[in-house]
Structure 1
Amino acid sequence: MDASEPSKEPPLFHEEVLRERDFHEDFRQTLASCRSEFAGTFCYASSDARAPNPSIKIPIDDGSSVQTVKLPWSWPKTRTPTDDDELDYRKIYSEALAVSFSNPMWEVYVEEKAREVARALGIPPYFPKLRCEFSSLIFHNPRSGGFKIPQNGDPGESNITIASMLVVLPSAFEGGELHCRYSGQTRVLDASQGSEYNTSILAWSNGVVIEAKPFTSGSPLVLSYRLGYIPDPNTPLPSPPRVFRCQAEVEQCLIAWKEGHFWKTLPGLPILVYVLSFKYGAEDLRRGLDGLKDSDANVASHAICAAGRAGFRVCLGGVTKSVKTYKISGKRHWPWNMGFKYLEEESKGWDRKDMYQITNVVCVDGGEDGLFDDGVEVEEGNVVPKGAFDGSQRDNLEHDRRFSTYYGDKRILEQHQRSALILLREEDQILLGVALNGYEWALRKVDALTAKYGYNDMAEMVVASLLERLTEFKRNSAKNYNELPAFDDNASNTLTRELGAYAIKWRLPALWNDVISHCNPSLEATVNSASLAVTTFELEMIKPGLSQLLKRMPTMCDRTSLITAMASRSQGTEGDWVGHLRVEALASYRKPVLEDIPTLVNIFLGQGLNSHESNCLDRILSSGSYEFLVNLAKALRSHRSSQPPLVDEEKARLDAIERRCLQAAFPLWKKFARSEYNNDDIAKKRIHALANYCLVELSDIHLCLALANVVQEGATYDIHTTLAGALHQDLSRAASSSLDTWGPEKVLKLQQIVVECLSAAARQADWKKPSVSVAQANIDQFVRLSLDAGKPELCYPFLDSMKTASYWTHHSLELSLLAQSKKIPRLNATTGALYDIRRSIVDRTITKWDDEPMFQLRYVKGTQRTLNIWIGRVYYIMTWTLNFKEPDLCVSLLNSVLKIPSNPECKSWHSAFYLPLISGATQFLRTKDKTAVTAEPFKTFFRLALSVYLARVLGPKTPDILPSEAPKRTVDVGCGKCANCRQLQAWVNKLDKEPFRVSARQEVRTHVERQISSAEIDDIVSMETVRERSPYTLVVTKTHEIVARMDWSSTQSDARAYLQCFGFNEEELEVVMGERYQDVSKAIEGEKVFELTESLVIPPGAAKGSTLFSASATPSPTSESNAVAVAGKPPMPKKPAASQKRKCTHEDSN
């Protein structure tokens, strides 16, 4: 081959290939190739029926005599084994030196089997000085759990164990299988087949996990051997032939990690934890490579060589995997002292969390210890290989009792402990030290380094790591250092203070500029550090740091204080530089706050606004809050008045700034901070304050008009009424000189805005959501504002918005208008308009007085009572129409009352509504005029009210044939002694239509029957025995004639009571009923059924010419003499009608 021809062998790692490979898998494979790879299997088992008898001799009785063990072995049958026997035998048989073999062929046999086992386990043939050493004789009694697995000895012994071998001597037993697990594989070794006559060999390599199953019967006898060697410095450890290429692959893998080719997501800690095969104690780890066994020593030695060339550090330590599993059950239990037994919640199933922790970390490559503290938690991504703990036995098991107290299921904590090889990049060691041990450790490190060597490269690395830590903290853990120790604001402040002091001490302006960008600008220490830096460095050197510090200061007050301190410390050498800082302080001011108002006022009170100050003002107007802008405007006005008189130019300039602040605040009147509540109330207060400021304080109607235009956009009912009230109030408070200055056109325009707001509010009124108190307040406010604005006609659209509102809302509006009309001393156009509006309201309430159920719960003098609200409402409307001489409204009201009998939902209209209503109405009319009850429209109303009762209530109950008048007599029945007879006596002599029943045994029933028969009342009652169930029931029923007479008598009594509620004498009844007068008496006597021959409607013109409405003039709306019309209560009669008990039936006006 030509030497110039490139090699066709591909490189170990190609860049494009590296980007696609998995680091965990590659690193695992490269390190696995460093182990002593066996060509065979990891376990071995065989049986031999021709094996020699070892002729085992053991000393007994303290060595005074020797006993030979006979094969096949069995437990002595002289007695049952006890715990004492087991301990005694185990003491004798566990001492290897006390056991001897009489048969010389036994050792030859064991050596042959050892070589056979070595070949099967794949131990390299060139491996020298392989030895097979007898370890112990293991005795198992019949109660043993399984084979006792011997320990391989202390790793510090002179010889190193490679494998273990058990020789199971002939003995009858069953069970005792050995389950061998290694690298995810499992094999079972069974020596029980033909165990009574065969000698079995069981062997396995180191690192194999053995699980011994219990014996089901028998007691085997076992000889334990170890296969090992004596280490020789001149003989290398067992390793595959390609060891040097293995190290090169490890090195290339580490370099690929270092250059970022493998890891897609960097774990929390940039370290690698490679899990070894064995678990070592802290003392073994401190010994380094000398404390490791077998393949772990190979891996560590190769890793150290490769890591040193790749720029990595290598450590040893312990790694613990903790597996927490718990189940949240559907029933969550709590302690009894919390007041309840349990809390039901939905079951969430099982939850699992794996945690990894490294401990006892020591450096094996000559580096410094102390980098890692014990108990450092790492992520699963740091651990190689993946699933290193899968299939391993747990080392510890704990139950968290506190957890099980609160939940139905326990949380189980599993722990798997192994040792590990820990690798990290050299450039990460300082960063890890800072992250793991905290900034205080790093500062002590810097102090130690600078005290010994001055500011050197190592100290610079530590400082750079601390600055990176500050950056990460500022960026909220950009590299996902979520599991690192907490780093809070206090730690950041302390660290920046110390680093700033280092920068000044070592005169490093670049470091100071970097550190000051992380300092808290609100701390006094930061200002002191900046002041000290001005005297230490040239100003140009620290200009970037000061500029950044000014930009990060939140308030202008702090910025000016810092600039003032800089100027005082610079001793007049700053030149234009301090002025440049002032410009930057204004240019970077973005978030105005209330604390800056005095400072900004001082700036604006200077000699005019330059371009920078003008830009600052523009930013304030665009980013300031409502409170800031309004308070800034007030502060400018206050400072201007407290200063000496200003020239016209300065005054105009400050007035312009003040007005610009207000104009910028107008659109913010409905923007609130998150912490503010009751935003509606705050908005109303702001509208009042702005209107007052513009009209009263500034006397600027243009600003007020601008405010009105802004507020009216998208305004609600409350905002419109608030704006109207504020403008009207402030307009009335404005000085007359201001009104003359504004001119009539501007004032008229403002008044028009008030009217427009009220008109818009009238259209927006919503009567579905507000409560009773809110609705009442809205009505009173709107009526007052309308009258104050001289526009009572605005109540018409307000009334139109109430079409779907209840009777109570209309009634409240009418009362509010009444209250406002009383404030007017004399009649005028306003009172007339108010009366017309009230009349419209009453006209609408006529259709709404029955919009709620008749009976409602009301509080009367602190007591809850059920009242008939319909009666009170009808009384109020009726008295209003009579007082204001409105016959048409009265007829409309009476017609609405006459519709109630036709309502199928109101079945008790005659007793619950008509009877008390008519009784009170007739008595009220008599107080106005003795002949009012016979005047129209009440004459027709009373005739129809009586006719509809006689036709629809009395008529259906009138019998076709009136029952005969049975003789009335007091019946004496029964013995008078027993309870049944006394109850029978009372039942017969009272108006009770229900049957009388006696459920008792036959003697009692027969007694009652004989008493009834002897009383001779067969014309009154009848008897019947019901035999449906035991005991039988005697049913005594009144005769049909008696029941019919009782029903008709009750119906007549109700009809006479209804007629009496009218309070008519015979002459008045005859006038009211007219030609139907005789029909009334016949209907009540039952002689003739009353027929309704006319419709239940009063003609519209029935009240014309009536004496009730014949007054020549309408009474003044402000002088209503009748208190009933004001309070909305029905008239209370002086005396209740005969046999009628007057009830409180008026509706509570509240």
Structure 2
Amino acid sequence: MANNSSNDAEERRQSSMMPVDDLEDDLEVQDIIEDSDELSEGEDLADDIENALGNDFDFEGSFYYAKTHPGAPNPCLHVQGIGSVGLPLSEVEAKRLISQAAQAPFGKGDQTVVDTSVRNTWEIEPELVSFENPEWTGWLESTVLKTVWNSLGVAPYTSKPRCELYKLLVYERGSHTQKAGGMFATVIVVLPSAFEGGQIRVSHSGSSHTIDIASTSATETSVLAWYTDVIHEVLPITSGYRLALSYNLIHTSREMPRPSLPDMGDAISQLRRVFQKWSQGKYPTLSTPYLSYVLNHEYNEISLSTGAAALQGVDAHKVGHLIPIAEELGFVLAFGKLDYHVSGTPAYSYGGRRGRWSRYDDYEDDSGDEDAPMEDIIDSYYTLKGLVDINGNTLVRGSPGQGLRFDSGSLIPEDPFDGESPDRKDYEGYMGNHYFQWGPTIDHWYFRTVLILYRRKDEIKVMFTLGGGTSWALERLKTSRDPPSEEDKLVVQELVRTLSTVPSISHQAAVIALFEYAVKWKDADLWSKVIVRAGTVRGTNSSIMVEKVLAGLGVFPFDSVKSGIEAELKVASSLPDRLDILDKVTQRVHDDQPAKEWIQKKRSACIEAYDSASVADVPVLIQIAQSNGLSVLDESIMPKLLKKTKTYHFWISLAKSLHENKQKLTTSTSTTAPSPPTSVNLLIAKCLKAAGSQWHEAPTKFYSYSWCYNPYPEEEAGKAKIERVIEVIQLCLKTGIMGPCNALLVEVLRDNKDVPMKFKTLYTPLLSELKKLLRKEKKPLSHPPFGDVVRGLVLLYVRQVLGSKPSEASMASIRKVGCGCVYCNNLDVFIVGPATKIEYREAQIRRTHIEKRIASIPDLVTFTTVKYGSPHTLVITKREAAAQATQWKSKLREAKSFVAELGHGEDMEALMGPQGYLEVQRALGLAPETAAPTQQAPAQQAEPSTSRRTVRPGMLKACGITLAGMKRPHDAR
């Protein structure tokens, strides 16, 4: 079978088929052409084409055969009266043969006449011809009875057909034969004889082909054959001589009808009618500008490079009749390789599989599972490759290894692979690991060749659709003319139409190119169409797009370009980009006053609409303030931004820039009065206050898995908050604007829930960083307002973190009860230590031993047994009073360390004030409860010194602290 396919392909390659015009006397063509007035409206074009190419076109053969046989033996031709004839045929031998030959007659009515204007051929009767090579007859019979018989599509014979020599023919220069009929089939064996010209035209039922074997005639033997009712015409020999043996192929199987070509008249008439209706728009508009007819055979890309010559059997028969109809009615035929890929899940019951979920290792061996039937389809798609015309010329080049876009809605039949077996199968087993795994998949591939049909007037649409759309069109326009051709305009029309669809990455390239062509061709209409759609385009080359829009300013009126500029302003992602566009426009309008006024309005509108609060925009905002005055920033821009959240970095950046550019801003180039420094300070204060209000907005931490996120742990969040507080304080100190600092510190001290944790995560590290900052700025810790903050936090610490000292009785009640064994030693360490709970997961005998020891200290601990697991667990928990007593020493040690970090002796007393210092000393056990606060000298009280300040009630109130009454949350008295 593979051998026959190879021979068929070679046979068609040698035949060099070319479509030609219908013969002048083929009157059937005219008989079946309908006037457009007679054509009815069509309903379904795809169905009509499928029906028209249906059963009547199922003929497997061809009405002619043509092939060169390089391995053919030399027949050792012998002609009576001449003798042996040498091959390749020489001119001398040809003239000798002609001397013994007669002019070939032809039938005219009931007479046989000789007329060289109709048939100019020499012939020698078969009885005068013989072959001295015994292999000739065997080769001829095997060639004719196998290759020719099969190619002509004749049904298998029951008795051996006969191949009878009819004539030996000699064609000289000018020799030709016009429109002669044959018998059941005529076989012509052209022996090696050098000639040029002499092409043979064969036609049947409106299909016509030209056979040309001159190029190999000098050295090769060629075999031609056609049915008797095939019209053929031998064109004149232009030089040399052609020597041919003419045979009649005789059918001898009596029980079977004589082979003949099917009557294609009605089928071709129906086919032509469908294409006429399509041509004249009698069918509803298709979803695609083309239809794709699936051929019976699959042809590889190498075969398709020869075009229609590669087709076999029914495919060749159908296309052979379609070509002349398509050419006459303005249609184009093309071929392409269609791949259909289906991905899905295999039937789990197949091959012994028992379920979807199992251990991954159980599925290592998946061999053979590609034969499993597909149960559920996950995905499917079509691709088209290697699109060529009927002569094998490439129409559209796709990317290497990739197919062209293809719409399955164009297929005829609608479901060509339904019920078909896939040409290739792949199976992929279970994937994943022990924790995550997904089931096996199976992939099916189907490979076919399709015949693409479309109207020639739709060619641009088809190439645009199949060839990659925008990329194809842009490549095609590189060869456009100026002024553009009609075809150029059609390509542009398709590009413009595409821009109205959902925007894609390629749209920007299309808009840029169309702007260029509109300017190049000075096409105002095209410019207007592109301008309307430019605003829908998003891309990375915005600067290029702007330049293309602005290029129109030198070609088209400003009013024509305005809409494009507005579109670019909408697309521009930032205020700097929008103002840059307007600056470039300003540079090009020169003295156009209306244009300048329009630009100024747009500039004002862009500033009014600003609400991004991006750090990158700060330099532009400073420029705006310098050129338009601080009032624009204060009244038009900042009010909206103050309502936004997560803008901390913006406000910090703006505050810094305002401070750094204070001198420029106070000597503004705006038409309004220069801004006084106090106005700049007011804006800086607003920025710092806005930044300070967001000190608590800790960033979100993302884990390695993109779908999983959580806030920072408390300690990490505390670090982020501290960094913001310190940064705002630093800027306040730098600018000398302390109001925002005061407000921030009050906010920091306001929320005192879970005070011990607050000190661990926020207050203690904040005081450490604040101390470093003030040291760097060469300011004491008591510098206002920080002295109040430190005082408040120290008092808050000793009252709610350290708390009141347990009573002496509670302290004295802490006692060891162990016997000295290892388990009791652990128990004693627990009793006197700061831990509040201990667990013993031990055997019952050991648990009982511990229970006996703690039975004597019910005032210190409670216990219970968790009867889960083996052995059970004894859980011992300290009572609250005992816990406070055992934790006091460590808490006191930590408190002393906390206070020592802030200062010692007189420095601490100066920071805390007499009453606050005394409270701290008492709490730390450094002063008796009866001690009185140190009295300040009258002179010192009169001084407005910052070293010994009265504590600010407002700042301490934020901490929930009051000195009056010495209130302590843990004071039981």
Task: Provide TM-score, normalisation by structure 1.
Answer: 0.42
Q: Per chain length, whose mean CA-contact separation is higher, i.e. which structure has more relative contact order (CA < 8 Å, sep 6+)?
A: 2
Compare CA radii of gyration and give the structure with the larger one: 1
